[in-house]
């Protein structure tokens, strides 16, 4: 059974308890009890219980035995009704006594079996508790040993750290004494040089870090200026493309006007040649003057168009 130490342990696992309870219920169903017999006798749809079948068999035997006894008395020719009644009473007493003995035996068997089953369940629960408690005790001892070893290791490392800290402090004090000694050896001079060199390197590192931050900021500003320059370059390229398109259009228009003027001059010259043979010199002279005036007017219009349609100067791109 579980000891006093095991009583302080947590209760048994619910799965083991449920298994034990199921085993007890199954055993009760096999053996049956008075309540179950009463319920099964009232129920007509439930399957017959083994004990109920046994009691039914005893009752059937009693009825058959009484019937056989009465038949035996009738065959013997006993005329007395008292003999029949006495035989029936004796048979009823014997059957009742047998029935009571059987019931007492079954009830005693059921109670003793239930008691044994309860004792077995308690013993099994205590055994499981002992097993679990022993396992937990083993785990606790293992954990205690591990914790103890970790504490010892921590203490050892702490002592080693304190010892190294003391050694470091002693070395620092010794180095300071050597450095402050005016007639120290070469080690002190070397330590002073290294210390000054280290200080200069620290200052240089700080300066370089500041310069690096400034360079990073300048890089950001240069990147912004580069983005602006790219934007201006894109706009200038768009304007140049538009200017080229306008220049090509105006050049085509100017060429068409020149061709038209040349055609008009050619027509005038042809007309003057044809008219020179049929018309007088005065009329020919008038036509020549009118042609000359038209040519001058066309040249003036071309010059005016050229002066008014100058190409726009491209934008200057920032470098």
Rounded Cα–Cα distance for residues 9 and 5 (Å): 7
Which DSSP letter does residue 198 get?
Answer: H
Non-local (6+) Cβ contacts of 130 within 8 A are 2, 3, 6
pLDDT value of residue 263: 84
pLDDT (tens place) for every residue of the chain, 319 residues total: 334 444 444 455 666 677 777 777 766 666 555 444 444 444 445 555 556 666 677 777 777 776 776 676 666 665 566 666 766 777 777 777 777 777 888 788 788 778 777 877 787 777 778 888 888 888 999 999 999 999 999 999 999 999 999 998 888 887 777 767 766 566 667 777 788 888 899 999 999 999 999 999 999 999 999 999 999 999 999 999 999 889 888 888 888 888 888 888 888 888 877 776 665 556 656 666 676 776 666 666 666 655 554 444 444 444 3
pLDDT at 316: 44
Looking at residue 34, what is its pLDDT?
44
Q: What pLDDT is stored for residue 51 in this prediction? A: 61
CA distance 217 to 15: 71
Of 16, 15, 5, nearest to 134 by C-alpha is: 5
Spell out the domain ranges in the chain: 4-158, 203-308
- pLDDT for 118 equals 80
d(CA 168, CA 186): 22
- CA 138 from chain centre, in angstroms, equals 38
Contact 72, 105 (CB under 8 A): no
Residue 178: CB atoms within 10 Å: 15
For 47, phi then psi, to 5°, come to -70, 150
> Which has the closest alpha carbon to 286: 277, 276, 296?
276
């Amino acid at each position: 059974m579980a000891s006093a130490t095991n009583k302080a342990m947590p209760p048994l696992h619910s799965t083991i308890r449920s298994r034990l309870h199921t085993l007890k219920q199954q055993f009760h169903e096999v053996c049956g009890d008075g309540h179950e017999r009463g319920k099964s006798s009232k129920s007509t749809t439930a399957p017959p219980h083994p004990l109920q079948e046994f009691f039914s068999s005893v009752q059937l035997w009693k009825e058959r035995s009484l019937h056989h006894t009465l038949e035996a008395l009738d065959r013997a020719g006993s005329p007395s009704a008292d003999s029949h009644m006495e035989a029936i009473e004796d048979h009823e007493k014997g059957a009742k006594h047998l029935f009571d003995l059987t019931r007492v035996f079954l009830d005693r068997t059921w109670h003793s079996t239930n008691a044994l089953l309860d004792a077995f369940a308690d013993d099994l629960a205590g055994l499981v508790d002992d097993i679990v408690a022993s396992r937990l005790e083993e785990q606790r001892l293992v954990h205690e040993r591990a914790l103890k070893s970790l504490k010892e290791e921590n203490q050892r490392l702490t002592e080693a750290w304190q010892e190294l800290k003391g050694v470091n402090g002693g070395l620092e004090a010794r180095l300071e004494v050597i450095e402050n000694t005016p007639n120290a050896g070469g080690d002190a001079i070397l330590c002073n040089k290294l210390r000054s060199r280290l200080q200069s390197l620290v200052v240089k590192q700080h300066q370089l870090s500041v310069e690096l931050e400034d360079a990073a900021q300048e890089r950001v500003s240069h990147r912004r200026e580069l983005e602006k320059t790219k934007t201006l370059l894109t706009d200038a390229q768009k304007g140049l493309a538009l200017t080229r398109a306008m220049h090509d259009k105006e050049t085509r228009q100017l060429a068409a006007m020149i061709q038209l003027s040349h055609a008009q001059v050619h027509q005038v010259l042809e007309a003057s040649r044809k008219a020179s043979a049929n018309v007088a010199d005065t009329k020919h002279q008038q036509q020549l003057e009118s042609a000359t005036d038209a040519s001058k007017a066309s040249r003036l219009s071309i010059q005016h168009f050229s002066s008014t349609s100058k190409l726009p100067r491209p934008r200057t791109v920032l470098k």
